[in-house]
A and B are shown apart, each in its own frame.
Chain A
């Protein structure tokens, strides 16, 4: 009888997950901490992301792009519920630029709008359309601002 040995597949996935964890867990924990600003909660999310990743490992196209970017996109999906909850609990006025504070010193070189756009995209999981509506600017302008912000951070890195 032919049988799919799912346990063997899971064991192989386990090895891959361990490799990804060894290389990227610190980076991911740092990223999550910037969002939730709480060590325990950040660790909980890290555990959850890796457990979800283990379950959906074969669904991720690891060849498509670099591993960190794939992992980041995956983490963003898991963190989307956190963003939803925090937005629902703390409604913000669209007129106010809520600026994210990070430990990255190059963020200080950004102006408020650049900080807002970069952090909304990178940390808060917002789409370009949502930010453009919020800031009452075109999507092209928002993308340009994002590009400028990223360039400043990259240059100083």
Chain B
């Protein structure tokens, strides 16, 4: 059985944090991290300190550096091949809508259980909800009115019967 303090003291955590651990060592360390809070705490402390060391030696980048990065990102966003990731349905299902190249589509990431949909759906769903409430209100109102009228009608019938019998 492994002695966890010896493991922490072996220097393996430093090796991992500094990015020199082998894949097997990383797997083992992540397993121990899950299993032993001491390992998790020691790792957290190391990572925080490493960040602090890097912060002390930081060199603020000049503004043009971000512009360069941004221009490349924008190129990627506007590039025609960015549209290439399209789910092609069988021919019968396409109905000739391929020509519309805008973002008014449902987004589906096959590797995820989540779905990205257009924001317009939020308004539509809110509208449907409000409309549903209004209809429900009307239904209850007319139901009560109907019941009231029936009762009144019943009373009138009773009165008529009483008057006839008196005559």
Contact = CB atoms under 8 A, between A and B. Distances in A.
Contacts of A144: 10-11
Contacts of A92: none
Interface string B48-90: 1111111111111110011011101100111000111111010
A116 to B, nearest CB: 14
Given A47-B65, A50-B69, A31 B54 contact: yes
Nearest to A76: B19
B57 A104 contact: yes
A146 to B, nearest CB: 5
Interface of A is mostly: helix
Contacts of B46: 150
B65 A43 contact: yes
Interface residues of B, number: 62
B10 A29 contact: no
Contacts of A13: 73
Interface string B30-62: 100000000000011011111111111111111
B85 A122 contact: no
A48 B68 CA distance: 10
Contacts of A84: none
A10 B84 CA distance: 13
Nearest to B75: A51
Interface in A16-32: 17, 21, 25-31
A146 B50 CA distance: 13
Contacts of B52: 157
Contacts of A142: 11
A1 interface: yes
Given A4-B87, A73-B19, A150-B18, 11 more contacts: A4-B85, A5-B107, A9-B109, A17-B73, A29-B60, A30-B59, A47-B65, A47-B69, A126-B20, A147-B11, A157-B56
List of 5 A-B pairs having minimum Cβ-Cβ separation, nearest first: A143-B11, A147-B11, A26-B58, A3-B105, A27-B54
